[in-house]
């Protein structure tokens, strides 16, 4: 079994876990602020060995910095605190791994990583496009996070998988820039070729999973992926240069069985293992 809480930040480490318990802009059901704690708790019941990757978590050097202390009513301050934590991580030459929290927390992390790696590309797994210009007049919303990212990164440097919900404008935008791709083997091979040797930020909105296996999320969408599809994606990403990553949008109280939290913890395990490839 693996447990984040026994990983001392003072010890030498290559990957740093940062909890960002914020859900101040969610548009449907709140609760993602409890995601980091639920992932940590569920991790205690998950094996350290990944049979699909044939890799062992106990061989990695990672640490958990705990949850950031955030003022829930001030979005700009939350983003600033998150950005500072990721900046500190990169200054220490460690890979930041954020546990959300809602998807907006990815924005300052990607900004920080982009500043260090100007040829960065972003791979987004998600049920939603998150490409709105604003949501009810608010530009800093989890529904707009990839639009904000594209403004400094460029749409041509983003690839989105699992999208099955969005406005007509969002779909036209994604089609025009070719950001949409699928989990078919040939498309995953093409994705890896497109990445080439460029650094990657991987953002996984856990509502990419079908609600049948992951009901614990604020905005569930029918038609999502299952665990085996995610594992095929992870296997394809095993050789790319991951320099930052996050797992967001677990709302554990919406799944009283606890299965969503366990699935999230297993996702984190697999993501840790592929991120370790570059260190």
Closest to 207 in 3D by CA, of 277, 116, 130: 130
Q: Is 128 annotated as a binding residue?
A: yes
Q: Is 103 annotated as a binding residue?
A: yes
pLDDT at res. 99:
98
Largest CA distance in the chain: 49
Q: Is 226 annotated as a binding residue?
A: no
Round to whole Å and give the CA distance between 39 and 37: 6
The string of pLDDT tens digits covering residues 164-220 is 999 999 999 999 999 999 999 999 999 999 999 999 999 999 999 999 999 999 999
CB neighbour class for 18 (10 Å; exposed up to 12, middle 13-18, buried from 19):
buried
Q: Is 134 annotated as a binding residue?
A: no
The string of pLDDT tens digits covering residues 224-236 is 999 999 999 999 9
Q: Are 274 and 241 in contact (CB under 8 A)?
A: no
Q: How confident is the model at residue 27 (pLDDT cuts 50, 70, 90)?
A: confident
Q: Is 205 annotated as a binding residue?
A: yes
pLDDT at res. 76:
95
For the cut 70, the answer to whether the pLDDT of residue 68 exceeds it is yes
For the cut 70, the answer to whether the pLDDT of residue 278 exceeds it is no
The domains of the chain, with CATH numbers, are: 4-278 (3.40.800.10)
Q: Find the range with the poorest average confidence among 7-11, 142-146, 180-184, 219-223.
A: 7-11
pLDDT at res. 9:
72
For the cut 70, the answer to whether the pLDDT of residue 7 exceeds it is no
Round to whole Å and give the CA distance between 48 and 154: 37
């Amino acid at each position: 079994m693996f447990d984040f809480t026994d990983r001392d930040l003072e010890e030498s480490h290559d990957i740093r876990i940062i909890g960002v318990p914020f859900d101040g802009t969610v548009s449907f059901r709140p609760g993602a602020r409890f995601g980091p704690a639920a992932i940590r708790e569920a991790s205690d019941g998950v094996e350290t060995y990944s049979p699909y990757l044939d890799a062992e978590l106990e061989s990695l050097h990672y640490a958990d910095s705990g949850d950031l202390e955030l003022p829930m009513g001030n979005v700009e301050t939350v983003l600033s605190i998150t950005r500072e934590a990721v900046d500190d991580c990169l200054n220490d030459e460690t890979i930041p791994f954020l546990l959300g929290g809602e998807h907006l927390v990815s924005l300052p992390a990607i900004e920080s990583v982009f500043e260090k790696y100007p040829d960065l590309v972003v791979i987004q797994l998600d049920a939603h496009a998150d490409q709105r210009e604003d949501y009810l007049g608010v530009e800093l919303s989890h529904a707009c996070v990839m639009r904000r990212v594209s403004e400094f990164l460029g749409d041509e440097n983003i690839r989105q998988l699992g999208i099955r919900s969005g406005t007509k404008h969002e779909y036209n935008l994604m089609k025009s820039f070719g950001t949409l791709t699928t989990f078919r083997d040939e498309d995953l091979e093409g994705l890896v070729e497109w990445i080439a040797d460029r650094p990657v930020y991987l953002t996984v909105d856990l509502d990419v999973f079908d609600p049948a296996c992951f009901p614990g999320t604020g905005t569930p969408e029918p038609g999502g992926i299952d665990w085996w599809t995610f594992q095929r994606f992870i296997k394809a990403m095993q050789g790319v240069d991951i320099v930052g990553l996050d797992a967001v949008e677990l709302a554990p109280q919406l799944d009283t069985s606890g299965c969503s939290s366990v699935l999230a913890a297993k996702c984190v395990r697999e993501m840790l293992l592929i991120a370790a490839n570059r260190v």
